[in-house]
Amino acid sequence: MTSPTLTPSEFEALVEDIRPELHRYATRMTGSVIDGEDVVQEAVLKAYGSLTLLTHKTNLRGWLFRITHNKAIDYLRRFSDEPMELLDDYFAPEDIPWQEIAFKTTWWALVDWLAGRRPDLAAPSAARWSSGQG
């Protein structure tokens, strides 16, 4: 006689207990807390997809760690093949309109100063400038 399969609520309870351990493991493997969380989410989703195959006798902890390990390896492989992009490929410092930036910064400083002294004058000026009419 086979053991009954796990219900979704039983699965959630078991995953909730070991999720912090899975996350620490995945974080160590990927080197990032955020990427570790992504890996754990993928692993839990994959495990949940196989819920009908799980019974109460299944070593869920070991099985989830194996899935998490494999997902982390997949993650590392996926991103190790991508070449790094250098920001120098997008713009050169001489292409930056420094004078325009300095003027806009000065303009907004003036608007801030006016707002402190004469809010009635600052708001219409800022609205015209931000809409491109100023």
Residue 26: which CATH number? Answer: 1.10.1740.10
In a domain, 89, yes or no: no
Q: Are residues 15 and 48 in the same domain?
A: yes
Is 114:129 a contact under the CB 8 Å cutoff? no
Q: Are residues 102 and 72 in the same domain?
A: no
pLDDT of residue 1: 47
pLDDT of residue 26: 95
Report pTM. 0.57
Task: Give the number of domains in the chain.
Answer: 2
Domain around 26: 8-80
In a domain, 130, yes or no: yes
What's the rounded Cα separation, in Å, for the pair 63 and 47? 8
The two three-digit tokens of residue 99, written as one number: 């004078």
Q: Are residues 14 and 65 in the same domain?
A: yes
